[in-house]
Amino acid sequence: MGVIKYKNGLYRSSLGPKLQAFIEAKHNANSPYSSDYFTLHQFDLFVAEFFPNATTISKEMIEKWLEINSKFHINGQRRKFPPINQFCIFLNKQGIDCYQINSPFCGKGLKYQPHIFTDKEKVALFKSIDEYSEKLINSPIKQLIFPTIFRLIYCCGLRNSEARNLKCEDVNLEAGKLIIRGSKAHKERIVMLHSDIQQLLIEYEKRVDILRSNRGYFFPNELIFDRPISSNSITNAFHRSWDHLVEAKQANAPKARIHDLRHAAALDIIRNWVSVGKNLNALYPYLSSYLGHVSYTETDYYVHLSTDFYSDIESKMQGVNDYLYGDDDDE
C-alpha cells in the first residue's frame, strides 16, 4: 500500500485518500482545521492497525475507537469525537455508506480541577522547558518557540489558542503591546507587555526571523507554511517538560495543564495586589478585562481560587461581589 502525504504528516491506512480529500475540502472552504489534524492522523493509524482493509467507517470501528480512547479524561474523549463525526458526514455526502454516529457524550464536559503552581514548581517547569527545547536540534524553530510561548502565556495570562494564533501584525514590540483577536466569545483586547517579556519577544523575533522571514504568524508552524504552531505541539512540549518532574508527582495534586499557567498568572496578579494593599474592588474590572472575560462571573472563578489557596486574601476580598453586583436583598 502506498503512503498518502498530507500537510501535517503521512496517511497510512486504506482510508488515506478519503481523509486527504476531506482535509482539502475543509481548506477549500477556508475552514481553519489544523487543530483536528492530529486526531485524524491518530484515527488513520488506528484504521491501518485494526482495520487495514476498510473502505468506509463501520459501527465496529467506532466502538473500537471509543474503547481505545476510554483511558483519557472525558473532556479529551469528547474532543476526539467531532473530527471523526465530520469525516463520516463527508463520506455520506460522497455517496459512501458510512455508519451514522450518535455521540456517546451528553451535556457539558466536566469542570477541571486546576493545578495551582507554587513558585518552586514554576521555576522547575520553566527550567525543564528550556532543557527540553535545547534537545530539539532538528527543530530549530521549536527550539525558539517553546521557551518563549510558555513564558508569554504565563506572564500575560493568555489562553493557549490566543498565544498560538498571534499574528506578527498584532505584536507591537516597540510599543510593548499585543492585540488579542478571535479569543473566547470573539472579544478583542489589548495586552501590555512587562519590559522583561517585551525584551524576550524582541530577542525571539530577531532569531526566528532568520529562520522564517515574512511569516504571518508570530509562532509559526515548522511544517505548514503560514499556519501557527499546532496545539498538539505545544501540549506535547508542556507534558514532556512537566510530567517527569518530582514536583509533578505530588500525591492528590490535580494534573497540570497549559491552561493552569493562565490560572497562575491571574492568581499572582491578585496576590500581588493584596500584598501592596491595592483596592481590589476598584481593580476587579481591570482584571476581568485583562483576562478577556465576557462577564465578571468568569473572573469570580479566579477570585474564589485565590481565596482557597491564599488565606490572607479571603478577608480582603469580602465585599467585592456586593460592590460589583449589589446585594441580592436589594434586587
Mean pLDDT in consecutive groups of 10 residues from the start of the chain, 331 residues: 42 85 75 64 88 89 82 65 82 85 52 79 95 95 97 93 94 95 73 94 96 92 87 93 88 81 86 78 74 66 57 50 40 37
Are 242 and 117 in contact by the 8 Å Cβ rule? The answer is: no
Q: DSSP state, 167?
A: B
Find, among 40, 42, 109, 32, the residue nearest to 76 by Cα.
Answer: 109
> How many whole angstroms separate alpha carbon 297 and alpha carbon 108?
18
Q: In Å, how far from its chain's centre is CA 308?
A: 25
Give the C-alpha separation, 152 to 149, whole Å: 5
DSSP helix/strand/coil, 53? coil
Calpha distance 149→155 (Å, rounded): 10
- CB contact set of 110 (below 8 Å; sequence gap of 6+): 73, 74, 75
SS3 217: strand
Rounded to 5 degrees, what are φ and ψ at 124?
-65, -40
DSSP 170-183: GEETTTTEEEE-S-
pLDDT at 23: 81
For residue 74, the tally of other CB atoms under 10 A from its CB is: 10
Contacts of 289 (CB under 8 A, 6+ apart): 189
Cell numbers representing residue 281 in the block: 474592588
185 and 234 Cβ atoms separated by less than 8 Å? no
Q: What is the pTM of this model?
A: 0.63
Quote the pLDDT of residue 331: 37
What pLDDT sits at residue 285? 74
What is Dmax (Cα atoms) for the chain? 73
Q: How far apart are CA 217 and CA 231, in angstroms?
A: 14
